[in-house]
Amino acid sequence: MIQRRSAPPLAPAERRQKLLGAERATETFGRPGRHRVALGFANSYEIGMSNLGFQWVYRLFNREEDVTCERFFFDAQGSGRRGPRTLESDTPLAAFPLVAFSISWEMDYVHFLRILADARIPSDRRERTDDDPIVLIGGDCARINPLPLTPYADAFALGDGEKLVPGLAEVLRANLPRAAALERLGTLKGLYVPSVHGEHAETASEGKIVVDQFRSAEGPTREPPHTTILTPHTELSDKLLIEVARGCSEMCRFCWAAYAMAPQVRIPASSILAVAERCRPLTSRVGLIATAVADHPDILPILEGLSHLGFHIALSSIKIDAISEELLAILARQGEKSLAIAPEAGNERLRRAINKKVSDESLREKVRLIARAGFTNLKLYLQVGLPGETEQDVDDLVTMVDDLRLVMLEEGRKRGRLGTLVPSVNAFIPKPHTPFETEVLEDPDELARKLKKLDAAFRKMPNVTFRGMPVNEAIWEAYLARMGLESGPILAQAAAGAPVRTLVREHRETLLSVARPAARIDTARRGVFDLASRQASPWGFISKS
């Protein structure tokens, strides 16, 4: 048998040429500005260019008078002796006055540290001099819990790019020496500068840093954030991403995005369709981005309008109560066969406890509509280890999946095509800034047992494909979400390439002391914000107002 070999990786110059050659911009910018910023995504080009926040901030910087923004990415192959460089001009990162990172997943902290080391930018911010760039971190992680990265980042941008970029550009244009630039950054709302405000923002005004984010009142005039550069070399090949709403009206108690981004901001349908129409000559694929897709009062006119423009529309996961025959018909018309929904728990009792307002009856009906519309692949996002979960709740996950499977089969038989149900089960991870921030990760042995039980039950069900989160990943993720300054050596080991299983094995006690703190949960007050615990937490100095 002939074994197929994967093509050898391209040399950096060839890869750069290939990537740039395939890109098409949805906006062109004026002549290059004198003030340069390198904007990096702490993951690969393919993932970074699929991230709307990164794409949008790139546009916002380049729109600033006399500013040029260039991109860089993490290269898992390593950047070699040349070090990481920007895509546009092949310039080493250390040559920029400002190196900004967009970090959306805690897992990417490790890449961030490796990029700094490869770029020969001192990892410790206190060792940087006037010849080194200012290292700034933005994105969701900066806003959730910046403390563990304070030894490495000169500044954190907490909030929405539209609010923060103009101030950053102003400081860039002022061309100040390092200390003065940091002082100036420290005066901007939404900017957290550890050397100015202290490692716990103890010298900031009222000892807190206020996130600078959009308010819903500003919605009607807003341009929807959308893809700046289209490329076939992304996970979402050539797809125009348009943000339709930020925040979610549901407020599930485990969901960081809903609480951090409240109040919800919705973009008017007319603005969304105007952007889509302008970009239509460049692509026929569109993806709608929102904290909860379809949680928009005008979702149907938006979908109809996009369909009328000849777009193939993709929605990632749809809010269950927003599912309707009309919405499904629009998606099915374009040949879509897969959909994802997030019931999270196996019964109404636990759903109510996490504030997910979906009844069993409604869930069954929505799944019936989905199957009837011709969708044959339905993914269900579920969790185990939720606060207050009982053994019965775990069993009910099995019963619910089986019940929905029978609904899918019943409808599928009528159409002559049986479908597949994919229960994707994650461990509940307590996230900062949510009413569940003081809850704990489930005991790892219990987690493993429950996942094994689910695996065994789902294996017996025809037309069901189970996906379960590895327990080590759950421990690591729960640690990353809430860690503090003790994380330094562990992150350094991870950045040096240690796999998650090694980190969990070698630092199990430390990781679990953060993921499962000993403090007892007051079950009577479960799901209610506890201000005292909040203030004592590593992220206690981040405030929304």
Which CB atom, from 122 or from 219, has the smaller least distance to ligand SF4?
A: 219
Indicate whether 351 belongs to the interface with ligand SF4 (CB under 6 A).
no
> Residue 340 or residue 418: which is nearer to ligand SF4 going by CB?
340
Q: How far is the CB of 317 from ligand SF4 (least distance, A)?
A: 8
The stretch near ligand SF4 (CB under 6 A) out of 128-136, 244-252, 453-461, 502-510 is 244-252
C-beta of 406: minimal distance to ligand SF4 in Å? 25
Minimum CB separation of residue 360 from ligand SF4 in Å reads 17
Binding window for ligand SF4 (CB under 6 A); candidates: 14-22, 41-49, 243-251, 387-395: 243-251
Kindly state the tokens that stand for 215.
């308010």
Q: Are 313 and 334 in contact (CB under 8 A)?
A: yes
> Which span sits near ligand SF4 by CB under 6 A: 89-97, 254-262, 324-332, 391-399?
254-262
Please name which of 530, 337, 516 lies closest in space to residue 415, comparing C-alpha atoms: 337
Among 47, 248, 429, 511, binds ligand SF4 (CB under 6 A): 248
**Do residues 150 and 199 lie in contact, with contact meaning Cβ atoms separated by under 8 Å?**
yes
For residue 456, the minimal CB distance to ligand SF4 (Å) is 28
DSSP state of 23: -
> Of these, 132, 250, 336, 393, which contacts ligand SF4 (CB under 6 A)?
250
Residues in region 308-337 near ligand SF4 by CB under 6 A: 319
Q: Fill in the per-residue mask, 189 to 228: x = in contact with ligand SF4 (CB under 6 A), - = not in contact.
A: ----------------------------------------
Residue 372 touches ligand SF4, criterion: CB under 6 A = no
Cα distances from 55 to residues 45, 305, 529, in angstroms, run: 11, 24, 34
50, 145, 291, 376: which one binds ligand SF4 (CB under 6 A) = 291
Tokens in use for 288?
């709608």
* Contact call for residue 251 and ligand SF4 (CB under 6 A): yes
Contact 330, 379 (CB under 8 A): no
The identity of residue 218, as a single letter, is E
Spatial CA neighbour of 290 closest among 256, 315, 259, 273 = 315
445 three-class SS: helix
Residue with tokens 């993951």: 43
The verdict on 379 binding ligand SF4 (CB under 6 A) reads: no
Question: Tokens for 297?
Answer: 């009062």
Size of the site for ligand SF4 (CB under 6 A): 11
For ligand SF4, the closer of residues 64 and 437 by Cβ is 437
List strand residue ranges (DSSP E) for 478-518, in order: none
Provide, rounded to whole angstroms, the least separation between the CB of residue 345 and ligand SF4. 12
Nearer to ligand SF4, 270 or 316 (CB): 316
Of 44 and 291, which has the nearer Cβ to ligand SF4? Answer: 291
The total number of residues written for the chain in this structure: 545
Among 257, 373, 382, 454, binds ligand SF4 (CB under 6 A): 257
Q: Which is nearer to ligand SF4, 354 or 515 (CB)?
A: 354
CB closer to ligand SF4 out of 26 and 249: 249
Stretch that binds ligand SF4, among 27-35, 103-111, 178-186, 248-256 (CB under 6 A): 248-256
Nearer to ligand SF4, 292 or 367 (CB): 292
Nearer to ligand SF4, 110 or 315 (CB): 315
* Contact call for residue 68 and ligand SF4 (CB under 6 A): no
Residues 486-525 binding ligand SF4 (CB under 6 A) are: none
Which uninterrupted H or E stretch holds 17?
helix 12-22
157 vs 190: CA distance, rounded Å = 6
Q: CA 239, 246, 529, 153: dihedral to nearest 10 degrees?
A: 70
The residue within the footprint of ligand SF4, chosen from 52, 57, 110, 255 (CB under 6 A), is 255
220 close to 268: Cβ distance less than 8 angstroms? yes
The CB-of-495 to ligand SF4 minimum distance in angstroms stands at 30
Task: Tokens 């302008």: give the residue.
Answer: 278
Q: State how far the alpha carbon of 502 is from the alpha carbons of 330, 497, 528, in Å.
A: 47, 10, 36
Handedness of CA 285, 291, 295, 296 (dihedral sign): negative
Rg, the chain, Cα only: 24
Among 235, 314, 286, 320, CA closest to 46: 235
Give the N- to C-terminal CA distance of the chain in Å, as an integer: 65
If one asks whether residue 243 binds ligand SF4 (CB under 6 A), the answer comes out as: no
Report cis status (omega within 30 of 0) of the bond before 263: yes
Q: Does 265 bind ligand SF4 (CB under 6 A)?
A: no
Among 134, 252, 367, 401, binds ligand SF4 (CB under 6 A): 252
Shortest spacing between CB 196 and ligand SF4, in angstroms: 34
Nearest to ligand SF4 of 87, 211 (CB atom)? 211
CA nearest to 117, candidates 497, 487, 498: 497
Query: What distance in Å separates the CA atoms of residue 16 and residue 73, rounded to the nearest whole number?
Result: 11
Interacting residues with ligand SF4 (CB under 6 A): 248, 250-252, 255, 257-258, 291-292, 319, 342
